[in-house]
Amino acid sequence: MSILFINGSPNKNGNTAALAAELLKGHKYETLNLTDYTIGAYGQNLPGDGLDAVIDAMKQADTIVIGSPLYWHNICGSVRNVLDRFYGKVENGSLSGRKLYFVFQGAAPEKWMLEAGEYTMKRFAGLYGMTYGGMATGKNEAAKLKKRFKEEFIMEYAVLNNGVKMPMAGIGTFLLTPDEAEASVISALQNGYRLIDTANAYVNEKAVGRAMKKSGLQREEIFLETKLWPSFYEQPDAVDKTLARLDTLYIDLLLIHQPAGNYIAGYRQMEKAYKEGKVRAIGLSNFNKTQIEEILSICEVRPTVLQTELHPYHQEPELKAFLKENGIVPQAWYPLGHGDKALLEEPLFAELGKKYGKSAPQIILRWHIQSGNIVIPGSKNPDHIKSNFDLFDFALTDDEMAQITALNKNVRYYTSTPEMLKKYAEMVPPVDEQK
């Protein structure tokens, strides 16, 4: 996500910039200093006018933070000129999809001054289609706003090859009972998660559906992912039954769970569901390069995601390069190495955790996200659920990323065999018996 800070202060490194830095601490952002641009007042036509450049920069950003010192009881002139000049030049709603925050700094401002400034900024955001995130006038307010900034707007997304946006972090429900899955999903959604992963074989889809309803969120706010099991691949109503268990009209991402049985028939069924609007994206789970190539050779709808084992001890660089060439996004299960103590206690993670004030799992999950891996760590512990999502207020450096990448040992915790795949094809999960 790109963040743009527009600094209206004539002092590029003054209190306004410092307040913005407090709000955006841990995030990469670009600064645009209005003092570097000639921007006349409304009605003026000055040579070398820079308003178009400012507008272009705003259009390139996902989140915009406007900062202004408080001069003469109001927003400073440079910011005011930008706002005024939008009128009649920029179409209403043309910045839709972006988020706007306001940093308003001044010495002992009165309440009415701050209210007037925020009213103006709210109106500006609304007129041009932006979501207004809030105002900070001091460090304490910046700290509070930072929490909202992280929880509501800083989620990072992968854009799938069909244009669908998928959150980079979510919660998995593997090995969770229905009661555990319901509680975990509710907790996750309350803590800002928007990606939920389940499967026919987990036998907790009904619980996931209940949790989504109980969360109070709108269906379109949640990215729901599930997987078809091999023994259902040839059942023509498998997708409809999955929808019914989840109590939803559509699934955001549907995967073939295992390269077992007649997975070509399963993929065809997913393609049909995609064309009918029952599924927004389709993909694969546990497929290797050869098996993916087989799907690519016969598919009408390209797979968007491969869910596979990925973690610092097993990074699959060749597979990931192949996925990138074919526009397929990797999603990591066992992102924390199946809880391997040796991995979690790597000295490097302790060192980086001390630097960023984060735990080893948080460092690992951040590495995944910056590596382009969508993560779905599972947990039934509310504290762990909360912690596993606290990933968007810091970024590892290129050197730190390289150090973690150097830990690769090509160690897997799960390896399928022909015998296992045969069993998977024959196994029928008791989906109709679940709570």
Kindly list the catalytic residues: 202
Q: C-alpha distances in angstroms, 171 versus 132, 160, 190, 217, 340?
A: 28, 19, 12, 16, 19
Residue for token digits 């984060």? Answer: 358
Which of 46, 43, 20, 23 has its CA nearest to residue 32?
20
* Cα 125 to chain centroid, rounded: 23
Two tokens, residue 381: 């512990």
Two tokens, residue 411: 């160690």
Pairing mode, strands 305-309 and 253-256: unpaired
H/E stretch holding 159 reads strand 157-159
Q: From CA 266, how far away is CA 291, in angstroms rounded? A: 14
Residue for token digits 């393609």? Answer: 271
Which of 381, 353, 378 has its CA nearest to residue 367?
353
- Could you tell me which residues are beta bridge partners of residue 132? 100
Q: From CA 424, how far away is CA 428, in angstroms rounded? A: 8
